[in-house]
Structure 1
């Protein structure tokens, strides 16, 4: 695969005032990051469980207006929290607001507190995956019916590593697949995704492979060798330290230049 390597940041909307988040968006875009993600939760995932936190899609609308170059999206939207047709319309709207820079990241959902406190049925992993499977074609169909339509084919990012269902959905619908783990885990998951693509008759090279990272790019080229070309650095409030992100951006620039991927 010869896709350019891209670097993303996930600005986790927890333990910070919105002004701090807005400032970090500006700093990340200025630093040269390719994509800025948030996440779709209602409470912090770590640290003080009742600490400061902000909603995902409202924030993406603000980022669409604030930024000018980077792609933006959720890593990832919880399918359970919004009607699929409404979500498609929200995504189309942010796509227009951003001038065609939205990525629709989506997953089945897992954080039980979100469900119970906001009145959603938590169900089981199986029922949440059933709902995601039903939602994906509805989202695509709604995009085809909206007036005006999206400015481009909105990229769908599917997050998760389940080999029987999630990776099959990625083979069917995703432009980007996102997972976690070490190099060998990434190698295995990419191979499973390739097999699903072969089974349904899709070119696996159409799907960008993405992974979350939490340290400097010491193994970056090993990840690229197994098919990963997007790397996401997660940072939390209130400080939003971008030191590691800047290391990845510098490595990206050097790697793309020497391999002719840029």
Structure 2
């Protein structure tokens, strides 16, 4: 059995949905989150931007972390988090405290999704320095130990060891960060891309003496799970996340993936 197969088989298949906080009123977002939880989603996620990414660029949009605090009260079972929070927008110690607080509000259901950031309009309009892709990844590398150290000092401590999801596929800088700091690696692409990059991640884990199986493999998905799901599962993914956009929040694709999940859980 390959190591990737071992990673796959050691974890249950999980399905997440990213409820995009754009082009909708908050009441519509809240209903979509409730419906996703009722449908059986394992995770409900938003994103960390200040303007819509799709549709009207100046349309309705809401902030990530204040929304997660509300979701923590409005849900009871699903894990919640951002896919992903932008490291550039908050002091790392503050972000750690925010995550710890939402973790308590949710009774231990928060995961900290985090990435280096990329959407230049957010930076320009809110007064952050955009820098370069390399400088932003460097900032993330400096932030992760600070987040971990702050969690260790906070009173009260987080309810659980908050899972860290790092998003990105950079092979020379991002994947080594994943190996060192992440519980979940989130990526995009087809099965062959996932398999190749997962192999690189495995190598980075071994270099620092970490078991690669400790890092869950997550992938954003579109389309019919009957067409793409098994190949991605075979490449090592066990967490699959679909998108739902406002204002309608069609959860049909989520339900298709949940049915596929249930078939693969036996």
Runs of 4+ in 1 over 3 A off after TM superposition: none
Distance 1:216 1:4 in 2: 20
CA displacement 1:178-225 (0-9 Å, x = unmatched): 000011111111111101101111000001000001112022111111
Q: Specify the SS of the correspondent of 1:241.
A: coil
- Provide Cα deviations, 1:87-110, integer angstroms capped at 9, x if missing partner: 000000000000000000000000
Partner in structure 1 of residue 242 of structure 2: 233
- Give the corresponding residue for 2:163: 155
For residues 75-127 of structure 1, the C-alpha deviation after alignment (integer angstroms, 9 at most, x for no partner) is 00000000000000000000000000000000000000000000000001111
Partner-residue secondary structure (3-state), 2:111 = strand
Deviation at 1:64? 0.2
Structure-1 separation of matches of 2:216 and 2:58: 35
Give 1:189's aligned residue: 197
Which of 112, 125, 128 aligns to 1:120? It is 128
Tell me the distance in 2 between the aligned counterparts of 1:196 and 1:188: 13
Q: Is 1:130 equivalent to 2:128 in the alignment?
A: no
Q: Secondary structure at the match of 1:152?
A: coil
Partner of residue 15, structure 1: 23
Provide the TM-score with structure 1 as the length reference. Answer: 0.97
Gapped regions of structure 1 (runs ≥ 5): 258-262
Q: In the alignment, which residue of structure 1 is the partner of 2:257?
A: 248
Q: Give distance in 1, aligned partners of 2:179 and 2:158.
A: 22
1:136, 1:53 → 2: CA distance? 28
Secondary structure of the structure 2 residue equivalent to 1:102: coil
- CA displacement at 1:255 relative to structure 2: 0.6
Quote how far apart the aligned CAs of 1:136 are.
0.2
Partner in structure 1 of residue 46 of structure 2: 38
2: CA distance, partners of 1:248 / 1:216: 8
Question: Deviation of residue 236 (structure 1)?
Answer: 0.7
Q: 1:45 and 1:121 mapped to 2: Cα distance?
A: 20
* Aligned-partner SS, 2:131: coil
**How many Å separate the matches in 2 of 1:221 and 1:203?**
24
| Number of matched pairs | 257
TM-score by length of 2: 0.96
How big is each residue's C-alpha offset from its partner over 1:210-257, in whole Å with a ceiling of 9 and x where there is no partner?
Answer: 000111202211111111000000111000000010000011011111
Q: CA deviation at 1:46?
A: 1.4
Name 1:169's counterpart in structure 2. 177
For residues 246 and 223 of structure 2, the distance between their equivalents in structure 1, rounded to whole angstroms, comes to 17
**Counterpart in 2 of 1:222?**
231
